[in-house]
Amino acid sequence: MIVLASSSPRRLAILRSHGVEPHVIFPEVDESLPAITTTADLEDALCSLALLKARDVYIRLQRGLCPIVDASHVVAADTVVFKERILGKPSDFEKAVEMLEFLRNSAHQVFTGVAVIDFLTGAERTLCDVSTVVFGDYTRADIEDFIHNEQPFDKAGSYALQGEWVRHVVQVVGDRENVIGLPWYRVKELLQ
């Protein structure tokens, strides 16, 4: 059985859409990222954070603090939106508006760091997947309507590709599921 070390309902939905019903355990770690100066630093930081999450759950399982039977792998991930700087989850309405105005009529990248720990051997593997998303034009009223309807405060960059915001997406280059939060086909390789 795969253990998903994540509180993200989107990651859970991605796994379920591929026929995987994981056991979910929320990691208990500080999820803040260090100051990032390059995209290579960002990839390393996301992989490190994902590994921190996976190790937290793995250790708790090993110590019997989270009862579970037949765990095969622990999977954790962290996703950020990047355009000149990291755009994390907005703290309030105005931050969400600011982010979406910043992304208007432009391309940005979505990075997801993933860590997988083999439960039996303790072997650790990581990867970082990158997708590019291009937004078209939209108004402040479009942004405000979206924020009121979708409540994007738990989403990096203030949007979800699978929600109503998709109508403003001109193009996605790379794995769409990576943009949602988990590049399943690359994760599947780590599990084999």
Catalytic residue set: 78
Q: Which residues of 20-46 are buried (b: 16+ CB within 10 A; e: fewer)?
A: bebbbbebeeeeebeebeeeeebbbbb
Please answer whether residues 177 and 10 qualify as being in contact, where contact means their C-beta atoms are separated by less than 8 angstroms. no
Report how far apart, in Å, the C-alpha atoms of 41 and of each of 36, 44, 48, 86 are: 6, 5, 10, 12
State which amino acid sits at residue 57. Answer: V
